[in-house]
Homo-oligomer: A and B are copies of this chain.
Amino acid sequence: MKQAPKATKYESISHEIKRRILEKEYPYDAPIPDEITLAKEFGCSRMTMKKALDMLVMDGLLYRKRGHGTFIVKSAVDNQLVNVSTNESLGLTNLLKDKDIKSKTITFEVMFPDEHIASHLSITVQTPVYHIIRLRIVEGEPYVLEETYMPAELISGITDEVLQSSIYSYIKNQLHLTIGGCHRKIRADKPNELDQKYLKCAPDDPVLEVEQIGYLNTGVPFEYSFSRHRYDKFVFTAVNIQKT
């Protein structure tokens, strides 16, 4: 069951350096040791060291200045902004591990997709898809209304029981497929009837909608979904590092 992912050298180095930063073992007002010194300490080449540090730069935890050195982004550490959506894996169940998550299935059917949906899933309108609407309930409070389309042949064997827990777990553990990434669009919207009914929105409560296309690591789209969140219960976070 446990498939220890065998951390690479740069991953474990990156992890250790991240630990040192978060536990404030390096001062903020000076550069951390230079790449060559660190490479020597960890017994690796400079390229590998660079790759380890690259990961932390991507997380917004470090920045580099050619000719100067590598420095800690103080405010990132202080405000604990690190790493919210960059490495975020898909799925509520994963995101809110410690919470009590329940699901209420509102719609669960197989249908033919319209042009728009078919196009986003890279399938034809003759390919049947699951159409699922679920209300996710966190700690007893309605949290998000998810409408999902998935090609039925690709993600086969969805049952009511699967919908009660986690579709992503099912895809990973039962179907042995690997999720590779996603494209998302985030927008604000007025609540529709479903939102008002299930999320218990007032008619003038906005919702935050996340439109998402999920891809397997094969590049095949497996999911086209719309997640509508109560505006007072959800914030989407993103980190953006300019390429140097």
Please tell me if A174 contacts chain B, counting CB pairs below 8 Å: no
- Let me know if A183 and B60 touch, CB within 8 A: yes
A120-B189 in contact (CB<8A): no
CB pair A213–B75 under 8 Å, yes or no, is yes
The chain B residue with its CB closest to the CB of A121 is: B75
Determine the residue in chain B with the shortest Cβ distance to A215.
Answer: B73
B-contact bits for A208-244, CB 8 A (1 contact / 0 none):
1000010101110100000001010011111111111
Give the number of copies in the complex.
Answer: 2
- Size of interface on A: residues with Cβ below 8 Å to B: 59
A185 within 8 A of B: yes
Q: Which residue of B86, B87, B243, B244 is within 8 Å of A87 (Cβ)?
A: B243
Residue positions of A touching B, CB distance < 8 A: 60, 62-63, 65, 71-76, 78-79, 81, 85-89, 119-122, 179-190, 203-208, 213, 215, 217-219, 221, 229, 231, 234-244
